[in-house]
Amino acid sequence: IQFKYGQASLLTAACDALQKLIQSPHCQADILLEYFRDMQLESFLLNESLMKLFESCLIKQSHGKSSEKVLARAKSFLSLIKNNKLKLLKNIVPKISSYNYEALEFVLTEILALEANEEASQGIDLIRYLKYYTRCTVPSETEIRICRKELESEELAGVLPEISSARLPYHLLKGINCGKIITPEMKPHTLTYWLNLASVLNLKRDIVIGNTVSNVMESYLQSAAVNTSSASVSSEFLSVANQVEAILSRVEDKRYQAELCCNSLLDRFRHAGELTLVLQIALRYAEQWLASAHE
């Protein structure tokens, strides 16, 4: 259809049709280019339309996990964008679902292709760890409250994607709520993972170990039926105590070992036998700390 720009009604109709076209999940880059050629629309509208389609691919149509097909479609739009490409990429990062590691990694990689960016580089390092981790805990109220704001469509409002049961929220791990999300995840079987990730998240290794010890003890106290008047120690607690000592052996700061036992463990126990055993462990670490300090 040919028309002159002076014919306002035809231009309006073409622009209205364009809006419907870019809202379609089936619109491809070649279809859009063909439409612009036929309608003889201004190039600035093409750039704007490509940006909207790019965002739609990674935000509205990918609340869970972006497939390779979706990412290829997004890349086809991005390759045709001429202006403000870097700004677009930076602005879209916080809008992508926290659980959509594939889309986040794609965008961060594109940012690095355009400029040296430490934040993007750190983000990619974090995602490469997160992709191989399966979470141990269910999303907390804090996580649900924050992450559900990412969901724009009405049918998904307030509902986290199914994949959130297995993945940790990327954006929250980059902010002030990081500790609330990852601390419950620190278990004996995940300790090595979190120690490896500590440098990426700027965490102290000994704090990670301390949180793991606290979680082990908390889990035991919640599950155990405690007779506070008994001096005998159950085989279950002996097993837990051995597990705690094995974890504490990985602490590098001897003083922190002693402080952890005294400050974090002693005040949790009321069972006479268990308290005695924990005191013995704490005393042993205190002696080791004093010996190392003397040396």
pTM: 0.81
- What does residue 28 show for φ and ψ, rounded to 5 degrees? -110, 165
Residue with tokens 């705690």: 244
The answer to whether the CB of 205 falls within 8 A of the CB of 134 is no
- Could you tell me where the beta strands, DSSP code E, fall in 104-215? none
CA nearest neighbour of 167 among 216, 219, 120, 97: 97
pLDDT at position 155: 45
pLDDT at position 118: 94
State how far the Cα of 276 lies from the Cα of 270, in Å rounded to an integer.
10
The answer to whether the CB of 70 falls within 8 A of the CB of 57 is yes
pLDDT at position 125: 95
Cα torsion 172, 174, 175, 179 to 10°: value is 70
**Helix (H) or strand (E) run with residue 35 in it:** helix 29-39
pLDDT in tens, the chain (295 residues): 444 444 556 667 777 777 888 888 888 888 888 888 877 777 778 888 889 889 888 887 556 788 888 899 999 999 999 889 999 999 999 999 899 999 999 999 999 999 999 999 999 999 999 999 999 999 988 888 888 766 654 445 557 888 999 999 999 998 888 999 999 999 999 999 999 999 999 999 999 999 999 898 888 888 766 555 556 778 888 888 888 888 988 888 888 877 777 766 666 766 777 777 877 887 887 888 788 766 5
State how far the Cα of 41 lies from the Cα of 259, in Å rounded to an integer.
70
CA nearest neighbour of 182 among 143, 128, 238: 143
DSSP string, 81-120: --SSHHHHHHHHGGGS-TT-HHHHHHHHHHHHHHS--HHH
Q: What amino acid is encoded at 92 in this protein? A: I
